């Protein structure tokens, strides 16, 4: 913390600090440009690489490899499309080696070469192969080159109502030599679509699922176990650097960080991506190596999200030898689900997208877009760093010092997830982290938030909100929240109260220990999650002596859909609805007043940290009846009396990101 120029106490009382702010649009800073794809090409991006001559090579989930000329849309503004290979089995990775390509298929890495120079591959060689079970969920990713010339591949788990490893090395990351030899590196992986090197280390991104409470990014060293035990089935095989067996992994529901203290080899993530707050399914990541061509974030990471069609930004630091850091929202509004990110030769970013069967907020089935920095400086939290007594935020441009010194400008919470065999996790053990003091640097570029060191919890995500901070020219932050995963607390000099720009009045802060006791109790949380109410009756009312008048069964199907789009019931009749979640994601069923499904879905999305506790059901009169969130392969029945008034009511899933697609009509007739 050596460079902080400490200001002495400023009397703030400044009315302008929270005055009207200017509208501030992300489009002014980062623009999305769509590359038009001809009608007859299904460009469902699986792999992507920029070639040295500027063309963009892609592999598609339909099994083709394309070479796209003029992807920057220069001159006449038209790209060209040339098919280089076809007939492959869902190639989800592509690597150009100068004279040939390596692509993944489900069961192998294949070498493609054009030996007669006609622009089309005539060699399809099996470069390296592994067994297959035939399960639809056996995605295979890579190869991804490492700086030392090695390559990496990862193998997705099977899905059989839970993650399973039905053929060898499913759930593993393997090194792939230039001779095609596979060497197991680490396991515990579930759905590892994004991986590669960052500052010399290997990272991979993970999606929420069984044993995975929320999306995350983990630093994988040789022999690491990242959390899903299915792959441990192969840990006794020759060449395995992993020593754990499936029996070594307890499903206690404690935070993963705490379990890792007792299970050597279990690796807590470098960062968590809080589910629905910053995306729902992390995919590819890329280090910003553009030296400023893409804006002020050189050396940080950008991470795609398939389900929410967004890109997040990750700023990592190493504390006591352990990677950790912050996830920030960065850019939303892409056309389909984001799977691949690649730097263009000009420092812009190609964003490769696909959503068939996986569904995404972006409505298109696929797309290629380019994200371009306009050259205008976005006002953002650039970095957050751990300090012995809190965090220090660096901004991309100087803050309005009076506004930044206001204690109400910030809010901090910490929370974590359960580590258990169940699909996903609610947010647990939420606590407010009360501020003690604020130190604004002389140059206005840094703000140190000082808290009681006892309020910092290792293994927890610290949500840092800076909604009141403004730039010197009156702009709000483009994104006001960062999520810092605190694995280690940095050493160094604690702040002295005499250094505070603002000493926070204690009245605003809750008593820390009392709050911990209340919100940390599993009993409290369970009660909140299972409570029935007038809107959610899960036992048949005793007065229904002849049973329900009608039983309706609604299921889910992949692609964010209910299996029935319309149900008819009689006004005032006794209804039992059985909601079967047959999909591999979390869903609920919420019955709304006519025309209210979108508003209810939107309100569910905006519940923020409270979302999981409320099962994403907002408290509004527009909600008539609902189930809780139902896990994959589980079901829930609710009982209610249909409205007396005839009309077209609606049902909707309010799990964030689902409501716009996942809706149906409940026709109530006389």
Alpha helices in 206-283 (DSSP H): 256-262
Residues 79-118 that bind Cu ion (CB under 5 A): none
Residue 107: which of 74, 159, 156 has the closest Cα? 156
CB of 577 to Cu ion, least distance (A): 15
Nearer to Cu ion, 605 or 662 (CB): 662
Nearer to Cu ion, 447 or 652 (CB): 652
Phi and psi torsions of 418, nearest 5°: -80, 145
Only one of the segments 177-185, 365-373, 374-382, 662-670 lies at the binding site for Cu ion (rule: CB under 5 A); that segment is 662-670
CB of 640 to Cu ion, least distance (A): 20
Whether the CA torsion 263, 265, 270, 272 is positive or negative: it is negative
- Per rule CB under 5 A, is residue 658 in the interface with Cu ion? yes
CB of 638 to Cu ion, least distance (A): 16
Burial of 356: CB neighbours in 10 Å, binned 0-12, 13-18, 19+: middle
Distance separating alpha carbons of residues 614 and 629, to the nearest angstrom = 9
Distance separating alpha carbons of residues 193 and 337, to the nearest angstrom = 13
- Per rule CB under 5 A, is residue 285 in the interface with Cu ion? no
Residues 596-655 that bind Cu ion (CB under 5 A): 653, 655
Phi and psi torsions of 65, nearest 5°: -120, 130
How is residue 401 written in tokens?
């010092």
Report which DSSP code applies to 539: S
Nearer to Cu ion, 448 or 587 (CB): 587
159: which strand partners?
A: 163
Nearer to Cu ion, 277 or 438 (CB): 277
Nearer to Cu ion, 211 or 655 (CB): 655
Total residues contacting Cu ion by CB under 5 A comes to: 5
587: which strand partners?
A: 630
Q: Under a CB-based contact definition with an 8 Å cutoff, are residues 343 and 349 in contact? A: yes
Residues 443-482 that bind Cu ion (CB under 5 A): none
Residue 437: which of 109, 8, 1 has the closest Cα? 8
Residues 572-591 that bind Cu ion (CB under 5 A): 587
Nearer to Cu ion, 271 or 605 (CB): 605
CB of 563 to Cu ion, least distance (A): 13
Distance separating alpha carbons of residues 537 and 670, to the nearest angstrom = 24
Nearest residue to the partner Cu ion, using Cβ: 653
Nearer to Cu ion, 276 or 383 (CB): 276
Distance separating alpha carbons of residues 449 and 453, to the nearest angstrom = 11
Nearer to Cu ion, 185 or 655 (CB): 655
Residue 342: which of 171, 144, 117, 133 has the closest Cα? 144
CB of 580 to Cu ion, least distance (A): 13
- Per rule CB under 5 A, is residue 170 in the interface with Cu ion? no
Distance separating alpha carbons of residues 196 and 205, to the nearest angstrom = 10
DSSP-based three-state secondary structure for 457: coil
CB of 658 to Cu ion, least distance (A): 3
CB of 371 to Cu ion, least distance (A): 28
Only one of the segments 234-242, 267-275, 429-437, 660-668 lies at the binding site for Cu ion (rule: CB under 5 A); that segment is 660-668
Nearer to Cu ion, 290 or 628 (CB): 628
Only one of the segments 62-70, 377-385, 531-539, 656-664 lies at the binding site for Cu ion (rule: CB under 5 A); that segment is 656-664
Contacting residues toward Cu ion, per CB under 5 A: 587, 653, 655, 658, 662
């Amino acid at each position: 913390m050596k460079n902080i120029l400490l200001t002495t106490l400023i009397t703030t009382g400044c009315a302008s600090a929270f005055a009207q702010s200017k509208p501030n649009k992300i489009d002014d800073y980062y623009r999305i440009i769509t590359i038009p794809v001809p009608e007859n090409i299904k460009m469902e991006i699986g792999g992507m690489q920029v070639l040295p001559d500027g063309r963009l090579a892609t592999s598609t989930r339909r099994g083709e490899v394309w070479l796209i000329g003029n992807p920057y849309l220069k001159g006449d503004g038209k790209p060209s499309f040339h098919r280089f290979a076809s007939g492959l089995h869902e190639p989800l990775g592509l690597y150009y080696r100068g004279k040939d390509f390596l692509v993944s298929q489900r069961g192998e890495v294949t070498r493609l070469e054009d030996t007669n120079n006609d622009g089309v591959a005539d060699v399809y060689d099996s470069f390296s192969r592994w067994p297959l079970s035939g399960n639809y969920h056996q995605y295979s990713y890579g190869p991804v080159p490492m700086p030392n010339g090695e390559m990496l591949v990862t193998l997705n788990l099977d899905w059989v109502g839970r993650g399973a490893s039905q053929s060898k090395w499913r759930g593993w990351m393997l090194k792939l030599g230039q001779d095609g030899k596979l060497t197991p590196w680490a396991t515990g992986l579930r759905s590892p679509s994004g991986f590669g090197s960052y500052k010399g280390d290997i990272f991979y991104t993970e999606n929420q699922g069984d044993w995975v409470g929320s999306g995350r990014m983990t630093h994988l060293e040789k022999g690491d176990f990242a959390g899903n035990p299915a792959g441990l089935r192969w840990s006794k095989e020759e060449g395995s650097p992993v020593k754990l067996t499936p029996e070594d992994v307890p499903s206690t529901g404690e935070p993963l960080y705490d379990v890792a203290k007792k299970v050597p080899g279990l690796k807590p993530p470098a960062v968590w991506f809080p589910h629905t707050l910053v995306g729902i399914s992390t995919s590819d990541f890329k280090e910003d190596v553009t030296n400023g061509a893409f804006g002020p974030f050189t050396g940080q990471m950008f991470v795609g999200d398939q389900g929410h069609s967004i890109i997040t930004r990750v700023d990592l630091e190493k504390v006591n030898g352990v990677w950790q850091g912050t996830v920030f929202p960065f850019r939303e509004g892409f056309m389909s689900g984001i799977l691949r990110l690649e730097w263009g030769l000009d420092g812009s970013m190609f964003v490769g997208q696909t959503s068939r069967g996986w569904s995404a907020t972006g409505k298109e089935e696929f797309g290629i877009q380019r994200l371009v920095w306009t050259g205008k400086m976005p006002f953002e939290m650039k970095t957050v760093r751990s300090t012995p007594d809190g965090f220090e935020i660096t901004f991309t441009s100087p803050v309005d010092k009076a506004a930044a010194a206001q204690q109400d400008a910030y809010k901090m919470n910490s929370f974590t997830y359960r580590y258990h065999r169940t699909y996903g996790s609610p947010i647990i053990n939420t606590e407010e982290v009360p501020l003690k003091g604020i130190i604004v640097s002389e140059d206005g570029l840094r703000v140190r938030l000082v808290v009681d060191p006892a309020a910092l919890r290792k293994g927890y995500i610290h949500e840092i909100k800076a909604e009141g901070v403004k730039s010197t020219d009156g702009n709000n932050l483009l994104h006001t929240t960062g999520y810092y995963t605190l694995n280690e607390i940095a050493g160094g000099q604690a702040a002295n109260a005499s250094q505070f720009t603002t000493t926070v009045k204690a009245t605003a802060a809750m008593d820390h220990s009392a709050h911990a006791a209340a919100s940390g109790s599993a009993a409290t949380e369970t009660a909140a999650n299972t409570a029935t109410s007038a809107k959610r009756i899960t036992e048949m009312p005793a007065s229904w002596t002849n049973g329900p008048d009608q039983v309706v069964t609604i299921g889910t199907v992949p692609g964010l859909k209910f299996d029935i789009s319309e149900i008819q019931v009689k006004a005032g009749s006794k209804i039992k609805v059985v909601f079967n979640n047959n999909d591999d994601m979390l869903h609920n069923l919420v019955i709304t007043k006519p025309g209210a499904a979108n508003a209810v879905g939107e309100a569910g999305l905006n519940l923020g940290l409270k979302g999981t506790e409320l099962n994403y059901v907002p408290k509004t009169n527009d909600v008539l009846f609902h189930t809780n969130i139902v896990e994959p392969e589980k079901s829930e029945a609710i009982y209610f009396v249909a409205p007396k008034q005839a009309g077209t009511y609606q049902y909707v899933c309010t799990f964030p990101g689902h409501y716009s697609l996942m809706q149906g009509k409940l026709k109530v007739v006389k």
